[in-house]
Protein backbone atom coordinates (compact mmCIF):
# COMPACT_ATOMS: atom_id res chain seq x y z
CA UNK A 1 0.00 0.00 0.00
CA UNK A 2 2.90 2.36 0.70
CA UNK A 3 4.14 1.83 -2.84
CA UNK A 4 0.74 2.76 -4.26
CA UNK A 5 0.64 5.88 -2.09
CA UNK A 6 4.12 6.85 -3.19
CA UNK A 7 3.34 6.69 -6.93
CA UNK A 8 -0.26 7.95 -6.87
CA UNK A 9 0.52 11.67 -7.44
CA UNK A 10 2.80 10.88 -10.39
CA UNK A 11 0.26 8.52 -11.96
CA UNK A 12 -2.49 11.14 -11.60
CA UNK A 13 -0.25 13.78 -13.16
CA UNK A 14 0.56 11.47 -16.07
CA UNK A 15 -3.12 10.57 -16.56
CA UNK A 16 -4.12 14.24 -16.62
CA UNK A 17 -1.32 15.14 -19.03
CA UNK A 18 -2.24 12.32 -21.43
CA UNK A 19 -5.94 13.14 -21.37
CA UNK A 20 -5.27 16.85 -21.92
CA UNK A 21 -2.97 16.14 -24.86
CA UNK A 22 -5.47 13.80 -26.51
CA UNK A 23 -8.27 16.30 -25.93
CA UNK A 24 -6.26 19.06 -27.59
CA UNK A 25 -5.59 16.87 -30.62
CA UNK A 26 -9.24 15.79 -30.87
CA UNK A 27 -10.64 19.30 -30.53
CA UNK A 28 -8.10 20.65 -33.02
CA UNK A 29 -9.06 17.98 -35.56
CA UNK A 30 -12.85 18.12 -35.11
CA UNK A 31 -13.30 21.78 -34.11
CA UNK A 32 -15.97 20.37 -31.80
CA UNK A 33 -16.44 19.25 -28.22
CA UNK A 34 -19.18 16.72 -29.07
CA UNK A 35 -18.56 12.97 -28.91
CA UNK A 36 -20.76 12.45 -31.99
CA UNK A 37 -18.31 14.57 -34.01
CA UNK A 38 -15.32 12.72 -32.57
CA UNK A 39 -16.99 9.43 -33.47
CA UNK A 40 -17.69 10.59 -37.03
CA UNK A 41 -14.38 12.37 -37.73
CA UNK A 42 -11.69 10.72 -35.60
CA UNK A 43 -12.73 7.13 -35.03
CA UNK A 44 -12.55 6.23 -38.71
CA UNK A 45 -9.72 3.68 -38.96
CA UNK A 46 -12.10 1.22 -40.63
CA UNK A 47 -12.17 3.38 -43.78
CA UNK A 48 -8.57 2.43 -44.54
CA UNK A 49 -9.64 -1.15 -45.31
CA UNK A 50 -11.81 -2.72 -48.00
CA UNK A 51 -15.47 -3.03 -47.05
CA UNK A 52 -16.17 -6.49 -45.66
CA UNK A 53 -12.53 -7.42 -45.04
CA UNK A 54 -11.45 -8.91 -41.72
CA UNK A 55 -9.49 -5.75 -40.84
CA UNK A 56 -12.51 -3.59 -41.68
CA UNK A 57 -14.68 -5.67 -39.36
CA UNK A 58 -12.10 -5.52 -36.55
CA UNK A 59 -11.93 -1.72 -36.78
CA UNK A 60 -15.72 -1.36 -36.94
CA UNK A 61 -16.06 -3.63 -33.89
CA UNK A 62 -13.51 -1.50 -32.01
CA UNK A 63 -15.26 1.71 -33.10
CA UNK A 64 -18.63 0.47 -31.89
CA UNK A 65 -17.02 -0.80 -28.70
CA UNK A 66 -15.64 2.67 -27.96
CA UNK A 67 -19.07 4.20 -28.56
CA UNK A 68 -20.69 1.65 -26.24
CA UNK A 69 -18.07 2.23 -23.53
CA UNK A 70 -18.68 5.98 -23.66
CA UNK A 71 -22.44 5.54 -23.36
CA UNK A 72 -21.94 3.03 -20.53
CA UNK A 73 -19.74 5.55 -18.68
CA UNK A 74 -22.45 8.17 -19.00
CA UNK A 75 -25.12 5.73 -17.86
CA UNK A 76 -22.97 4.56 -14.94
CA UNK A 77 -22.35 8.10 -13.71
CA UNK A 78 -25.78 9.64 -14.30
CA UNK A 79 -27.13 10.44 -10.85
CA UNK A 80 -23.64 10.22 -9.35
CA UNK A 81 -21.71 12.97 -11.10
CA UNK A 82 -22.92 16.55 -11.31
CA UNK A 83 -21.43 17.15 -14.75
CA UNK A 84 -23.38 14.26 -16.30
CA UNK A 85 -26.66 15.36 -14.73
CA UNK A 86 -26.02 18.98 -15.68
CA UNK A 87 -25.87 18.24 -19.41
CA UNK A 88 -28.35 15.37 -19.58
CA UNK A 89 -31.01 17.15 -17.54
CA UNK A 90 -30.74 20.04 -20.01
CA UNK A 91 -31.01 17.58 -22.93
CA UNK A 92 -27.54 18.58 -24.15
CA UNK A 93 -24.72 16.28 -25.25
CA UNK A 94 -21.98 15.66 -22.71
CA UNK A 95 -18.80 17.40 -23.97
CA UNK A 96 -15.82 15.21 -24.81
CA UNK A 97 -13.81 16.77 -21.96
CA UNK A 98 -16.48 15.64 -19.48
CA UNK A 99 -16.45 12.13 -20.93
CA UNK A 100 -12.68 12.02 -20.42
CA UNK A 101 -13.24 13.05 -16.79
CA UNK A 102 -15.44 10.00 -16.30
CA UNK A 103 -12.80 7.60 -17.66
CA UNK A 104 -10.32 5.76 -15.52
CA UNK A 105 -6.81 5.42 -16.92
CA UNK A 106 -7.66 1.87 -18.02
CA UNK A 107 -10.80 2.99 -19.83
CA UNK A 108 -8.88 5.85 -21.40
CA UNK A 109 -6.28 3.41 -22.68
CA UNK A 110 -8.90 1.64 -24.79
CA UNK A 111 -10.38 4.83 -26.25
CA UNK A 112 -8.43 4.62 -29.52
What's the pLDDT score for residue 89? 96
Residue 5, CA distances (Å) to 2, 27, 109 in order: 5, 33, 22
Tell me phi and psi for residue 104, to 5 degrees: -80, 170
| Half-sphere exposure at residue 112, Cβ-oriented, CA atoms within 13 angstroms | 13
Say what the pLDDT of residue 101 is: 94
Mean pLDDT of 66-79: 96
What does pTM read for this prediction? 0.85
Q: Count of domains in the chain?
A: 1
Q: pLDDT (tens digit, 9 = 90+) per residue, 39-61?
A: 999 999 999 999 999 999 999 99
Range of the domain at 69: 2-109
Question: Would you say 23 and 38 are in contact if contact means Cβ atoms under 8 Å apart?
Answer: no
CA 85 to centroid of chain Cα atoms: 18
Amino acid sequence: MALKTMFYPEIMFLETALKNYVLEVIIDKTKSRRFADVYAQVLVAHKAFPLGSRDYKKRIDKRMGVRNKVYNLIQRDYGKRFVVNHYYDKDQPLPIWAIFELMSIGEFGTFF
